[in-house]
Amino acid sequence: MANDINQVLESNPVVPLVQADDSSVATKTSRALAAGGLTVVEVVLRTDRALDCLRAVADEVPEVIAGAGTVLSAKQAEAAFDAGAQFIVSPGLDEGVVAVARERGGPVYPGIFTPGELQRAFNLGLETVKFFPASIAGGVPALKALSSVFRTMRFMPTGGVSADNLADYLAVPAVLACGGSWLTPASAIEAGDYDQVTTLAREALQIAARS
């Protein structure tokens, strides 16, 4: 499964974050992203009904690969897989979350901030990690330094990534994909302007194609 998702990300190297407390909003947002060409989405567990939203996207939007983000514990990871998540993303590195993902056969992208955390991830046998929050953790220069030491590791920078700096991040060979919420602005979602979401997704892919 990890190889399948990573293969998709090689050509579509952007993972948009979907945050919703209403299943209908989550599915409409995910469809809008897919219409713009982004087919891997991260439904973040930051609302009371986030798991319902994840389940709806997994069940009703087959054109996307739906994963769960902001997974903080092994219990949440179990619930996310039960709700249909095909991959797990965490803001930090937690061995319990990693263990659940391995038991359930799903990819896991834990967040790392420091070289020490990255070394722990490396020694757990992980091959791809989330670099979070990317802008605070040193951005592109930090990624270049880390990847020169951990030469087999791939990164998914998230946090402070935008259309303005997406190309810079994707230009780093060790970057598999970038994650971000700029593709799903709260103002557009609240207004029901899903066309804007599609436009932002399409623009992100155009940036990626030039990188």
Catalytic residue list = 42, 130
- Please write down the HEC assignment for all residues of the chain: CHHHHHHHHHHCCEEEEECCCCHHHHHHHHHHHHHCCCCEEEEECCCCCHHHHHHHHHHHCCCCEEEEECCCCHHHHHHHHHCCCCCEECCCCCHHHHHHHHHHCCCEECEECCHHHHHHHHHCCCCEEEECCCCCCCHHHHHHHHHHHCCCCEEEEECCCCCCCHHHHHCCCCECCEEECCCCCHHHHHHCCHHHHHHHHHHHHHHHHHC
CA–CA separation, 87 vs 156, rounded Å? Answer: 14
Query: Is the separation of the CB atoms in 184 and 17 below 8 Å?
Result: yes
